[in-house]
Amino acid sequence: MIVTEILARNARMYPEETSLIERNPQQGTRLELSWREFDELADRIAAILISRGVGKGDRVVQLMMNGIYWLPVYFGILRTGAVVVPLNYRFDAITIRKCVQTAQAKVMVFGSEFIERILAEKGNLDTWVRHYLFAEEKAGCPGFAENLLPIAAALKTEELALAIETPLVTDPAGLYFTSGTTGDPKGVLLTHRNLESACYIENAHHRQQHEDNFLLIPPLYHTGAKMHWFGSFIVGAKAVILKGADPQSILEAVSEEQATIVWLLVPWALDILFAVESGEIKLDRYRLAQWRLMHIGAQPVPPSLIREWRKHFPAQQYDTNYGLTESTGPGCVHLGIENTHKIGSIGKAGFDWEARILSMDGKPAARGEAGELVVRGPGVMQEYYRNPDATREVLIDGWLHTGDIAREDADGFIWLVDRKKDVIITGGENIYPVEIEDYLQSHVKIQDVAVIGIPSLRLGEIPVAIVQLKPGMEASKEEILGFCEGLPRYKRPRKIYFDTVPRNPTGKIEKPRLRKHYGGQSESFQIG
């Protein structure tokens, strides 16, 4: 059953029950949609898109912040038979344009936060985009767009008949953009079968029931948050979309909405622990007994964090998940709530998945030997969109080569060792060093530069820059950090080191050497 049919089933079985709740602590607002309202709104959005010429196989960009309308828009796009293209809300104008160009998107659905970025590239975007649809209830629809939600509300029932055939499970459904080590956007093409499999896999791992309530905090453009929600979605369980990730807002949402499952990123879990240890948060002021599962992912999890967490939440289940956009998000490897004695490991192959570790010669590695982690299962992407060379590099005989170096212990549990790909993961977001290096190379005083990630307890890693100045030039760390303010905040190096940038005989930066030298200068972890 494809995901759009699951939505229709939920609307039939639980029409007046709550499907989604949006909490906005800053504005003090709370919104709800029933399953019937969710399903009908998706139909209305689909009808509008079809009337604007969207059909099977077309690409529709979704550029929205988390909110109660994000998922109805997503399902509305899928209901047309089109391919939904959710974009990272941190993408700058140029990256948005590159993604639209690669997708050759026909329509863009967007929120108010993106108006300036769209306008900056609109002349180029108009080459592909024929309709711009503004997806917010509040006023502020720009003149170049149509206001989607009022149009949807005004549609008559007879206008909702969808003149589109139901997609096949093998049809493309989602185009999720990630960046390769070159920094150029690559589109991961997922099918309806991929999305369907995520529902069953997540539910098998975390055993969601109709009575559960999932607190959803991470961005919905990412496969991680949405595919974790899919485990609740398939049983018609409600979810709370929280706009804000501070400890008080999280605990208030868990308490007041009686959330039972929460997926956290490492920084948010740490913030809660620090707030509890400092006395800023008093746990006995919240109703938390029903919170049965905290799971975590998107970056390496410090074992010390989980040990501290379990001191404060001893009755709570814990799990961690490993996945990639190319594997339809989390689930291809997972620890399992019954395996907390293996904290630090990412676990074993997930439900309906296979996992292997291959040595450099492509043969299975011996137990304990480091090699590349490869996975095979129903979530493996169809391809890198319109990029056959990149696809052939990672899809070999049905196996997805993750680029991550791992080892398997004597009990068959997998432990990550390093990443083959030159990518920094900070707070669950991927940062590609070449983008920062290219920017810093434009500084008139810089001769060479290397950007690496060093361990950070709160964020997993932080980017730091090793800067080699031109002969005779002088610069302060403050000057270089000030220059970096031209980058998006999350891409800015946190530290600057002045040193010679080592390169091998072929001209490649010797980053393992830099990581070994500078990687020890990380943040310490002490609670209590």
pLDDT in tens, 255-266: 999 999 999 988
Residue 528 banded pLDDT, cuts 50, 70, 90: very low
Average pLDDT over residues 310-319: 94
What is the pTM assigned to this prediction? 0.85
Q: Residue 182 above 60 pLDDT? A: no
State how far the Cα of 449 lies from the Cα of 434, in Å rounded to an integer.
Answer: 10
261 sits in which H/E element: strand 261-264
Q: Residue 181 above 50 pLDDT? A: no
Q: Would you say 309 and 333 are in contact if contact means Cβ atoms under 8 Å apart?
A: no
Question: What confidence score (pLDDT) does residue 206 get?
Answer: 95
Whole-Å CA distances, 513 to 278, 417, 510:
38, 16, 6
Q: Residue 60 above 50 pLDDT? A: yes
Average pLDDT over residues 373-387: 97
Residue 419 banded pLDDT, cuts 50, 70, 90: low
Amino acid at 52: R
Q: Residue 312 above 80 pLDDT? A: yes
Vertex 86: Cα angle to 79 and 10 (nearest 5): 40
3-state helix, strand, coil in the chain (%, to 5): 35, 30, 40
Range with the largest mean pLDDT of 12-16, 338-342, 424-428, 506-510: 12-16
Count of CB atoms situated within 10 Å of the CB of 280: 11
Question: What confidence score (pLDDT) does residue 364 get?
Answer: 92
Question: What confidence score (pLDDT) does residue 344 get?
Answer: 83
